[in-house]
Amino acid sequence: MTRSRRLQLVRSGRAAGATRTVFRKRRAPSRLRQVLGGLLLLAAGTGLLVLLLQLPELIDLDSLLLVSTAIGNLIAGLSRLLMGVLQLLGVLLLVGLALLALVLLVAGLMRLVRVLVAPGRDQTSKKQRS
């Protein structure tokens, strides 16, 4: 029997050297989509900061009084323990929202700067061709 007459595995219609779709590189998102994503992050962060700045006017909120009331309720005993825990969770929620707003602002600014500073696809494809 010669080598050309050996049995070969039958593949599912692909050429032997074809690249599988699993290993293909993903296309980078378009520049417009990146700019819109950055603007949405900036808008979300700005909206949260404006909401947090308006909060003391909407609710009679004094942060030092809120924390001291929460600690006083904890000391008052088991009957008021739940109220103190809820107040402390409220303070933590406000701190978390403030941090989230700042992270969104920084992420949006970084994305916008990266998109605007990076060379366009047209320039990089021309460099690769020549």
Q: Which sequence spans correspond to the domains of the chain?
A: 33-115
d(CA 41, CA 31) in angstroms, rounded, equals: 15
Which 3 state secondary structure label does DSSP give 119? coil
Confidence grade of residue 95 (pLDDT, cut at 50, 70, 90): very high
Using alpha carbons, list the distances in angstroms from residue 95 to 46, 52, 92: 15, 10, 5
Mean pLDDT, the chain, rounded, equals: 80
Residue whose token pair is 């809820």 = 86
Sign of CA dihedral 46, 51, 52, 56: positive
The CA-based dihedral angle spanning residues 110, 115, 119, 124, taken in that order and rounded to the nearest 10 degrees: 120
At residue 56, the pLDDT reads 76
Longest CA–CA span in the chain (Å) reads 95
Share of the chain above pLDDT 90, in %: 39
pLDDT digits (tens, 9 = 90+) for 48-77: 999 988 887 777 766 667 778 877 777 777
Instruction: Give whole-number Cα distances, 53 to 58, 65, 70, 92, 101, in Å.
Output: 10, 18, 22, 16, 12
Mean pLDDT for the stretch of residues 88-109:
95
Position with higher pLDDT, 4 vs 56? 56
Q: pLDDT (tens digit, 9 = 90+) per residue, 6-38?
A: 666 666 665 555 556 666 777 888 999 999 999
- State the pLDDT at residue 32: 92
Does the global pTM surpass 0.85?
no
